[in-house]
């Protein structure tokens, strides 16, 4: 990681050395990148640890140090649903990602070479523990709450399982205790698009020569499945593609939705590392909360939670609403006072990024009661 890539708001926490991985292997001199908003109180009791989806960096919201818009800009700030007037918010770039945290695209300090496929098998549990290490680096032992959408919604579940008693409250958004075979199939196909790109070179591609085609296809499939048919019918219909995306290719873009996919894919290829993508995607597939105990309810019973909020979206194809309902049921069975919100948003899995009025209201109201 080069220093010039570090935003001025970005800080780094060293992980315990060695940092042993859940499924075996270890990292040396590893770190995670994070940003913070608000003030830590004297008792160090007002911290919220925020985990991200698969692709965002730690820059959840703007700040004096970095005024650029964050990935959850309208959610995090003074007077916003995650109110930095009251809470000290820490957002971590997932371990295994490529925005300042150690991942497959980082240099292995023990060899001086990029990890690539020598990076150990990453699990959702490792991401949870690395995020907790960032909080500990600030002197925080117990979080007021852990919050996360999508992959982050899985990470907070793993946090409850492997770090019992380390958070009072938990907010899991569009997450799952274990992905369904439909979602496994889609993610497997996204990875295959990268693996079969000749430019992937078994993970040994050079810094300026990523497997662009594989990343493009993977991201386009992601973009499609993050949304819903109903939303796109409203948004794009069968409008012809913007002329800027037209090509001479007889099978090139015809419809507006194809131009949208192009723009999404190009942005992703320019910012995300293919091996990091493979590691994070596989970690989501293999995550299974039930591996941590006799039952999911039994795991939550040991987690020491004072309350929880579970949010799901009725139009979510990837993390279907039944999976969040099952989580809420297990939390209640474990005796954890739990709010369950079934969002009628039409934006599918990505609704937490788009339907801010609904999500903001639910999260703000819940945190206000904690």
Catalytic residues: 150, 316, 349
228 binding its own copies? (CB under 8 A): yes
238 binding its own copies? (CB under 8 A): yes
CA 321 to chain CA centroid, Å, is 18
Exactly one of 286, 302, 325, 332 binds its own copies (CB under 8 A); that residue is 286
**Nearer Cβ to its own copies, position 55 or 183?**
183
Exactly one of 213, 295, 307, 342 binds its own copies (CB under 8 A); that residue is 213
3-class DSSP assignment, residue 246 = coil
Least separation, in Å, of the C-beta of 192 and its own copies?
Answer: 7
Number of residues that bind its own copies (CB under 8 A): 51
Interface stretch with its own copies, choices 8-16, 224-232, 297-305, 350-358 (CB under 8 A): 224-232
Least separation, in Å, of the C-beta of 210 and its own copies?
Answer: 14
CA 204 to chain CA centroid, Å, is 25
- Asked if residues 49 and 135 have their Cβ atoms less than 8 Å apart, the reply is yes
361 binding its own copies? (CB under 8 A): no
Question: What are the contacts of 268-272 at 24+ separation with CB within 8 A?
Answer: 268/55, 268/215, 268/216, 268/219, 269/210, 269/212, 269/215, 269/216, 269/219, 272/55, 272/98, 272/215, 272/219
Q: Is the dihedral of CA 104, 107, 110, 112 positive or negative?
A: positive
Angle at 159 between CA 277 and CA 343, to 5 degrees: 75
d(CA 203, CA 210): 9
Exactly one of 89, 135, 257, 334 binds its own copies (CB under 8 A); that residue is 257
Q: Which residues contact 24 (CB under 8 A, 6 or more apart)?
A: 120, 121
Instruction: Write down the residue that tokens 């965002």 correspond to.
Output: 56
Exactly one of 1, 224, 354, 356 binds its own copies (CB under 8 A); that residue is 224
- Asked if residues 13 and 137 have their Cβ atoms less than 8 Å apart, the reply is yes
229 binding its own copies? (CB under 8 A): yes
296 binding its own copies? (CB under 8 A): no
Least separation, in Å, of the C-beta of 225 and its own copies?
Answer: 9
**Footprint of its own copies on 177-206 (CB under 8 A):** 178-186, 188-189, 191-193, 195-196, 198
Least separation, in Å, of the C-beta of 21 and its own copies?
Answer: 14
**Nearer Cβ to its own copies, position 38 or 222?**
222
Closest C-alpha to 324, from 337, 333, 311: 311
d(CA 94, CA 215): 19
Peptide bond into 47 cis (omega under 30): no
Interface stretch with its own copies, choices 50-58, 96-104, 244-252, 330-338 (CB under 8 A): 244-252
Interface stretch with its own copies, choices 25-33, 34-42, 255-263, 295-303 (CB under 8 A): 255-263
**Footprint of its own copies on 92-121 (CB under 8 A):** 117, 121
* Strand duo 19-20 + 26-27: pairing: antiparallel
Give the residues lining the site for its own copies (CB under 8 A).
117, 121, 178-186, 188-189, 191-193, 195-196, 198, 213, 216-217, 220-221, 224, 227-229, 232-233, 235-238, 249-251, 253-258, 261, 278, 282, 285-286, 288, 317, 320
């Amino acid at each position: 990681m080069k220093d010039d890539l570090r935003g001025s708001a970005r800080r780094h926490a060293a992980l315990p050395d060695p940092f042993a991985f859940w499924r075996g292997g270890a990292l040396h001199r590893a770190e995670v990148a994070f940003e913070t908003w608000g003030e830590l109180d004297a008792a160090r009791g007002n911290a919220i640890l925020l985990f991200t989806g698969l692709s965002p960096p730690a820059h959840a919201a703007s700040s004096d140090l970095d005024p650029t818009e964050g990935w959850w800009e309208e959610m995090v700030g003074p007077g916003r649903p995650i109110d930095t007037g009251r809470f000290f918010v820490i957002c971590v770039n997932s371990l295994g990602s490529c925005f300042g945290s150690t991942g497959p695209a980082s240099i292995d300090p023990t060899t001086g070479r990029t990890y690539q496929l020598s990076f150990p098998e990453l699990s959702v549990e490792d991401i949870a523990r690395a995020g907790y290490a960032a909080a500990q680096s600030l002197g925080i032992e117990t979080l007021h709450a852990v919050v996360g959408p999508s992959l982050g919604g899985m990470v907070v579940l793993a946090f409850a399982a492997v770090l019992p008693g380390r958070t009072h409250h938990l907010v899991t958004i569009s997450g799952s205790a274990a992905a369904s075979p439909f979602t496994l199939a889609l993610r497997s196909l996204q990875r295959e698009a990268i693996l079969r790109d000749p430019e992937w070179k078994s993970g040994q591609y050079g810094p300026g020569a990523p497997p662009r085609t594989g990343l493009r296809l993977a991201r386009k499939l992601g973009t499609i499945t993050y949304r819903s048919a109903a939303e796109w019918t409203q948004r794009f219909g069968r409008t012809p593609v913007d002329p800027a995306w037209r090509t001479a290719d007889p099978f090139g873009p015809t419809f507006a939705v194809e131009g949208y996919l192009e723009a999404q894919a190009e942005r992703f290829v320019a910012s995300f590392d293919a091996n990091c993508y493979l590691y994070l995607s596989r970690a989501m597939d293999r995550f299974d909360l039930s591996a941590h105990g006799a039952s999911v309810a039994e795991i939550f019973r040991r987690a020491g939670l004072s309350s929880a909020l579970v949010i799901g979206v009725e139009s979510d194809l990837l993390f279907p609403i039944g999976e969040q309902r099952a989580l809420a049921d297990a939390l209640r069975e474990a005796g954890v006072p739990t709010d369950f919100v079934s969002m009628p948003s039409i934006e599918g899995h990505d609704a937490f990024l788009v339907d801010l009025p609904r999500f903001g209201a639910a999260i703000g109201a819940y945190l206000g009661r904690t």
